[in-house]
Amino acid sequence: MTEVDYNAMPDEEFRDMLRNFIEKECPASLRYQGRRVRWKEIKPWTLKLSKKGWLAPAWPVEHGGMGLDIEKMVAYHDIFDSAGVSRAPDMGIVMIGMLLIRFGSDAQKKYYLPRILACEDIWCQGYSEPGSGSDLASLRTKAILDGDHWVVNGQKIWTTVAQDATDIFMLVRTDPTAKKQEGISFLLARMDTPGITVRPIRTLGGEEEFCEVFFDDVRIPKENIVGNINEGWTMAKTLLGFERLTIGSPKFAMIAFGSLKELAREKGLFDDPVFVNDFIKLKMDIDDHVGTYRRYADALKHGGSLGPEMSILKIVSSELYQRVTELMLEVAGEQGPHLGPSNFGNASIDPLGYYFFSRPGTIYAGSNEIQRNILAKAVLEMPSQ
Amino acid sequence: MAELGWTGLLIPEEAAGLGLCLGEVAALHEEIGRASIREPLVVTALLAARAVALGHNDRLRTEKLPGIISGNLTATLAWLGESTGLDTTNVGPVAVRSDSGWQISGTARYVPLANSVDAYIVAARSSDGILLFFLDDLTHVSIDSAALSDGTSQGNLTFDGLTVPPESVIADPEHGSSLLDDLLDIARVAVSAELLGNMQQVLDMSLTYLRQREQFGRSIGSFQVLQHKAVDLYIQIELARTALWRAVETIEAGADPNARAMTVSAAKWRCSEAGLSVVQQGIQFHGAIGYTDEYDLSLYVHRTIVLATFLGNARAHRARYAKLFISSEGKS
Ligand SMILES: Cc1cc2nc3c(=O)[nH]c(=O)nc-3n(C[C@H](O)[C@H](O)[C@H](O)COP(=O)(O)OP(=O)(O)OC[C@H]3O[C@@H](n4cnc5c(N)ncnc54)[C@H](O)[C@@H]3O)c2cc1C
């Protein structure tokens, strides 16, 4: 384990350190990609980060993380985002790892955390069900205690890269009689447990990005519950708090904007004042989004808390990303509808891939309609309907 | 569709066509859009068959047109050069007079169905003006084809000094340019109609879903914010319908090429832009299932992306409209 105190490093030095590493070690095939990169492609690079001890910026140092304060966290993401580095399936790091650090038993921490850091375990998130999307608390997959095991029956859906995952963390109903939020528990399961079936689902972009996961009398060891029985909902909500900042990061919009700029340069579009006007509007929108992101992060640093206004970041980042890709698709002209990357001068860019990949950002992690409901109620204090 | 004689849509009855008027063609294409039928009718009927029918080559009209109309001979139009553009100043291939007729070189880009047809109508620039040729010997043509979002394809045709006899000329330099513009504009009307049918269907599918899908113990269509978004789509569709029918009526009333171009660009812009916003919002209404390829909505998403681009996207048509508007009214 490294003994470097990253938080004590001057900001520029910290940024240079990351930037140099990315330039040296991160292959071009993982940068500026308008699609979700699969685990086998990104594994070698992820292992390099792991070896450096740079895989888990937000985890405390004692658990093998970088223990970054909020300022360095923002810098970390800033460097990776502006370099267009693709995201590995990182739900182990950003979600379940964080949750275990906070709520897991000592045995769970000791077993799972090192495996996550070493990339031995790849996690997927089993929350949504066919009948329970925005209204997640209505979920019906049930778990019944039978001796030393939970017996799980039901179905999850939209489980991102479940086909690559070794483990799943999920919300299940353990008390069907309680109020819907109060009968839910948080369980962990190996994906190779008998009775679990995975069916990949193809997206608009033609990628098998998410899956259906079926549970048919799946027996899971009793100790695989996180926290107390029937307290899963509260923990899941805390987890949402952890991802608020990541989910609202300008990353995707910035990566797409980088490709838009390249496309524009190759097509000579900077001589077209109509294009330049649209382009600059996006640029200024991204700048102000980044500024807002920093301002909120700053408030956190000075002891403020993550309030519901964080929803703004998620709304703005996902919609900006879509607008960037819509402009890219349009100015790609006749090459816009091409499947896969096509050549624009010397550049190879996939506008359609970007366009599709930007669609679900307004749907997942709390749809933008739900986020606006939160803002209207919790921030603007509007009355209920 | 060829069996129904639809490839002869706008071809006069005396030339074995259906002799439909443009309004009927638009209505038909709206239905094709609604049903998301991937028949290349715009390409075969409105670009290729019409070129031969309206051209000046009686021999080709007699020998080739019946085949194209019956579907035995598939054909497409190749014309566009390097730059994205909508009018005949953007023709790519170049024709030079030679002893035995014409020699064609250069590239025609983004040709629909480039690698799956029997014949091409090729537009080429010459020092005297634009010509249209009929070409069914492809030995000196190289094709580089790309798959599109909706499962169709387009490709670039490169001519390497191909020699073409005078008998293959469909339109001479005096008439080529106006014929090409006419072909393209009429085809744009049909594409706009297809887009309109697409959006209408996506709105209908979305409304059904909004009524049926329940979250929080009620149908999601009861949330006012979603109702308003649905209404906004409905408004866009109504505006698109207006723009489309204005183009149809203007052309049927015998408008001059400038008036035709303006109303056509107004329609193609509106239908392309509205089409894309309707599918985007349609995806959002459906949540995650709207992002899957398995669900029927995806057919309309893919098709709309292709049609919104085909024969000029919203941006290009606004630019053409602006140019025409400023040259006709901007000075006064
Ligand atoms: C690419 C992708 C990856 C995903 N990955 C995962 C994953 O790994 N694990 C997992 O568990 N889930 C995952 N999800 C699922 C995601 O969490 C759900 O899609 C999301 O919760 C929305 O649910 P839904 O799709 O059922 O849409 P619905 O909830 O049915 O919503 C449909 C529409 O109604 C709107 N709506 C719903 N309620 C309201 C309201 N009260 N007011 C106004 N509008 C409303 C929504 O905003 C949306 O526009 C993923 C989804 C996508 C698209």
CA A139 to ligand 1 center in whole angstroms: 13
Task: Judge whether A96 lies within some domain.
Answer: no
What's the pTM?
0.96
pLDDT of A19 higher than 70 = yes
Which of A134, A135, A337 is the closest to B305 by Cβ?
A: A337
Angle, in degrees to the nearest 10, between helices A11-25 and A70-82: 30
For A60-166, list the strands marked E by DSSP.
Answer: 123-126, 142-146, 149-160
- A145 and A72 in one domain? no
Domains in chain B, start-ordered, CATH in brackets? 177-330 (1.20.140.10)
C-alpha distances (whole Å) from B44 to each of A338, B6, B72, B282 are: 21, 10, 11, 31
- A193 and A315 in one domain? no
Residue A120 has which token pair? 């031995």
Confidence class for position A81, pLDDT limits 50, 70, 90: confident
Total domains in the fold of chain A: 3
Best residue among A90, A125, A140, A158 to mutate for probing ligand 1's pocket (most ligand atoms within 8 Å of CB) is A158
Looking at A79-93, A138-152, B250-264, which range is the least confident one? A79-93
- A259 and A315 in one domain? yes
Q: Is A128 within 8 Å of B288 when comparing Cβ atoms?
A: yes
- Find, among B121, B124, B88, B120, the residue nearest to B107 by Cα: B124
Give pLDDT, residue A1.
Answer: 47
Task: Judge whether A97 lies within some domain.
Answer: no
Which of A158, A206, A330 is the closest to B288 by Cβ?
A: A158
Instruction: Return the residue whose CA atom lies nearest to atom 38 of ligand 1.
Output: A134
Burial class (CB in 10 A: 0-12, 13-18, 19+), B173: middle
Task: Judge whether A295 lies within some domain.
Answer: yes
Task: Please give the backbone phi and psi of residue A247, each rounded to the nearest 5 degrees, phi first.
Answer: -70, -25
Q: Does A359 touch chain B (CB under 8 A)?
A: yes
CB pairs under 8 A between A and B: 98
- A269 and A202 in one domain? no
- A131 and A78 in one domain? no
- Is the CB of A210 within 6 Å of ligand 1? yes
Quick: pLDDT tens for B268-299: 999 999 999 999 999 999 999 999 999 999 99
Boundary of a domain, candidates A88, A106, A137: A88
- A74 and A27 in one domain? yes
Domain harbouring A182, CATH code:
2.40.110.10
Boundary of a domain, candidates A231, A258, A280: A231
Q: Is A133 within 8 Å of B287 when comparing Cβ atoms?
A: yes
Note whether B57 and B165 are within 8 A (CB).
no
- A264 and A375 in one domain? yes
Looking at A67-76, A145-154, A326-335, B88-97, which range is the least confident one? A67-76
Q: Is A135 within 8 Å of B283 when comparing Cβ atoms?
A: no
pLDDT of A317 higher than 50 = yes
Task: Judge whether A197 lies within some domain.
Answer: yes
Task: Please give the backbone phi and psi of residue B158, each rounded to the nearest 5 degrees, phi first.
Answer: -110, 125
Task: Judge whether A115 lies within some domain.
Answer: no
Residue type, A106: D
Domain harbouring A323, CATH code:
1.20.140.10
- A190 and A140 in one domain? yes
Give pLDDT, residue B331.
Answer: 60
Residue A175 DSSP SS3: coil
Which of B110, B223, B298 is the closest to A334 by Cβ?
A: B110
CA A158 to ligand 1 center in whole angstroms: 9
- Find, among B127, B134, B112, B126, the residue nearest to B55 by Cα: B134
- A199 and A145 in one domain? yes
Quick: pLDDT tens for B215-245: 999 999 999 999 999 999 999 999 999 999 9
pLDDT of A8 higher than 80 = yes
How far B57 CA lies from chain A's nearest CA (Å)? 31
Mean pLDDT of B130-146: 92
Q: Which residues of A are catalytic?
A: 243
* Count of helices and strands (H, E) across chain B: 10, 10
Mean pLDDT of chain A: 93
- Is the CB of A336 within 6 Å of ligand 1? no
How far B331 CA lies from chain A's nearest CA (Å)? 21
For A266, the domain range is: 248-379
Quick: pLDDT tens for A188-223: 999 999 999 999 999 999 999 999 999 999 999 999
Residue in chain B closest to A201 (alpha carbons) equals B292
Containing H/E element for A27? none
Q: Which atom of ligand 1 is nearest to the CA of A91?
A: 8
pLDDT of A2 higher than 60 = no
Note whether B249 and B301 are within 8 A (CB).
no
Give pLDDT, residue A128.
Answer: 98
Identify the DSSP state of B47: I
- Find, among B189, B266, B208, the residue nearest to B200 by Cα: B208
Confidence class for position A358, pLDDT limits 50, 70, 90: very high
Q: Is A369 within 8 Å of B149 when comparing Cβ atoms?
A: no
A334 to chain B: which residues are within 8 Å by CB? 80, 84, 109-110, 154, 309
- Is the CB of A240 within 6 Å of ligand 1? no
Output A302 or B110, whichever has higher pLDDT.
B110
Q: Does A203 touch chain B (CB under 8 A)?
A: yes
A74 torsion bin: left (phi>0), alpha (psi -120 to 50), beta (else): alpha
Q: List all residues 6 or more positions away from A245 whose beta carbon is below 8 Å from its beta carbon.
A: A73, A293, A296, A297, A300, A306, A310, A313
Which of A203, A362, A385 is the closest to B284 by Cβ?
A: A362
Mean pLDDT of A162-167: 96
Task: Judge whether A314 lies within some domain.
Answer: yes
Task: Judge whether A370 lies within some domain.
Answer: yes
- A227 and A253 in one domain? no
- A220 and A162 in one domain? yes
- A331 and A217 in one domain? no
CA A364 to ligand 1 center in whole angstroms: 5
pLDDT of A171 higher than 90 = yes
Q: Is A334 within 8 Å of B109 when comparing Cβ atoms?
A: yes
Q: Does A120 touch chain B (CB under 8 A)?
A: no
- Is the CB of B216 within 6 Å of ligand 1? yes
- Is the CB of B56 within 6 Å of ligand 1? no
Task: Judge whether A98 lies within some domain.
Answer: no
